[in-house]
Amino acid sequence: MAFITAATQVQTRGFMRHCRQFHVIGKVQGVSFRASTCDQAQALDLKGHVRNLPDGGVEILAYGAPEAVQELAQWLKHGSVDARVDRIIAIDAPVPAALSDEFVILNCSA
């Protein structure tokens, strides 16, 4: 499995925050990957979203403490029980102006 990574750190309210976007490729749709990712991200107190992509992959935007973002990145290598992760691409992501106050599941990206 390839893991390509780059990260953006920003200072928010005196705390260092990390924002990273992941594109997960493999058998990640129809296997509770989004729900499991959302549960994991919420447990790590991350903000952002997860959504299916038309190419069969899943996109995750995660924002929070650098250690929590890194822990989610490690979890994504395995994902949900029935998932098969072949590749993860992680890129720098600016903090969106309309970032949710929680981690949510979005509808499929068109």
Please, which residues have CB within 8 angstroms of residue 44's CB and are 6 or more apart in sequence? 64, 65, 68, 71, 72
Residue 32 structure tokens: 């509770």
Please confirm, yes or no, whether 34 is among the known catalytic residues. Answer: yes
Strands (E), the chain: 2-4, 8-12, 15-27, 47-52, 58-64, 84-92, 103-105
Catalytic residue (choose from 17, 20, 52, 84): 52
Catalytic residue (choose from 13, 17, 20, 34): 34
Please confirm, yes or no, whether 52 is among the known catalytic residues. Answer: yes
Catalytic residues: 34, 52
